[in-house]
């Protein structure tokens, strides 16, 4: 386990303060020892408890939309890596604008390594890494971010379309599934990210769609009951389906 307490010993627990909603604040600093380089140790400071959450001073662990909690939990083996990632992404946002994308790239890779070293299996770690990687471009890359997200969306549609048409029409349509891989070559050092996001996005798309529809049906039923019973309080709302919080460990459909 590469996480250590403030004294450098193996970390067995992390004191947290619950700040209502989905926000927690770290009450005691801890460290992460990079398994790729034992001499590299990152310190995650305790949060300033005098500041309100939501100012880069809190964590909601892995920012998984609640309707996807049945697929990927917001806490568990990924908790410490997510807190680490929240701290690193906060640091990246404080850096000069021209350095943020590269700092986030490093933070996202540290997140992936920390996930695997914490016992998260390779596929789940890859999904979470690809999610925060796409969020990195959406947040820090401007027009380039729009381009990569657009290509990702088209790639996912191409893969799903290839499978559907390959089943109902002719197997030759399955060749279309190679198109995202070919298009990803244009992204150079981000080839691995675009490939992972495209094919994993297509794999998880049916599950995400089903969860999305289910959450909306629940909202509809809750609203009918709310109206029919005259229950006081606000109109029932579905949980957020896509969230890019300031802290950054987000998992879109990290």
**Residues 6 or more apart whose Cβ sits within 8 Å of residue 3:** 10, 11, 30, 31, 32, 33, 80, 118
Alpha carbons within 13 A on the beta-carbon side of 84: 27
d(CA 123, CA 155) in angstroms, rounded, equals 19
CA dist 36 → 77, 92, 109 (Å): 20, 21, 11
Domain ranges of the chain: 3-141, 147-229
d(CA 238, CA 240) in angstroms, rounded, equals 6
Q: Which helix (H) or strand (E) holds 54?
A: none
d(CA 182, CA 164) in angstroms, rounded, equals 20
Picking from 250, 218, 6, the residue whose alpha carbon sits closest to that of residue 129 is: 250
d(CA 83, CA 43) in angstroms, rounded, equals 11
Question: 28 with 45: CB under 8 angstroms?
Answer: no
d(CA 60, CA 62) in angstroms, rounded, equals 6
Q: Which helix (H) or strand (E) holds 177?
A: none
Phi-psi region of 131 (alpha: psi -120 to 50; beta: other; left: phi over 0): alpha
**Tens of pLDDT, residues 192-248:** 999 999 999 999 888 888 878 887 888 888 888 888 887 777 877 765 544 444 444
Output the tens digit of pLDDT for each of the chain's 254 residues: 589 888 888 888 888 888 777 788 888 899 999 998 877 889 988 887 777 766 666 787 766 655 555 566 667 888 899 889 988 988 898 899 999 999 999 999 999 999 999 999 999 899 889 989 998 998 888 999 999 999 999 999 999 999 999 999 999 999 999 999 999 999 988 999 999 999 999 998 888 888 788 878 888 888 888 888 877 778 777 655 444 444 444 444 33
């Amino acid at each position: 386990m590469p996480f250590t307490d403030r004294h450098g010993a193996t970390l067995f627990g992390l004191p947290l303060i619950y700040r209502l909603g989905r926000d927690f604040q770290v009450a005691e600093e801890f460290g992460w020892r990079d398994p790729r380089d034992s001499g590299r140790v990152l310190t995650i400071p305790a949060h300033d408890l005098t500041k309100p959450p939501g100012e880069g001073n809190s964590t909601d662990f892995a920012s998984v939309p609640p309707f996807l909690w049945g697929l990927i939990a917001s806490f568990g083996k990924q908790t410490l890596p997510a807190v680490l990632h929240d701290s690193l992404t906060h640091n990246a946002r404080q850096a000069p604008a021209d350095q943020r994308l590269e700092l986030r790239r490093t933070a996202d890779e540290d997140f992936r390594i920390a996930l695997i070293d914490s016992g998260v299996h390779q596929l789940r770690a890859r999904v979470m890494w690809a999610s925060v990687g796409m969020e990195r471009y959406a947040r820090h890359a401007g027009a380039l971010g729009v381009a990569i997200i657009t290509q990702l969306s088209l790639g996912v549609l191409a893969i799903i379309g290839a499978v559907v048409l390959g089943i109902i029409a002719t197997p030759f349509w399955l060749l279309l599934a190679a198109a995202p891989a070919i298009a990803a070559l244009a992204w150079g050092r981000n080839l691995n990210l675009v490939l992972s996001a495209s094919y994993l996005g297509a794999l998880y798309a049916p599950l995400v769609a089903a969860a999305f529809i289910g959450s909306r049906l629940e909202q509809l039923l809750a609203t009918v009951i709310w109206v029919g019973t005259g229950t006081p309080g606000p109109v029932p709302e579905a949980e957020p389906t896509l969230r890019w919080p300031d802290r950054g460990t987000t998992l879109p459909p990290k």
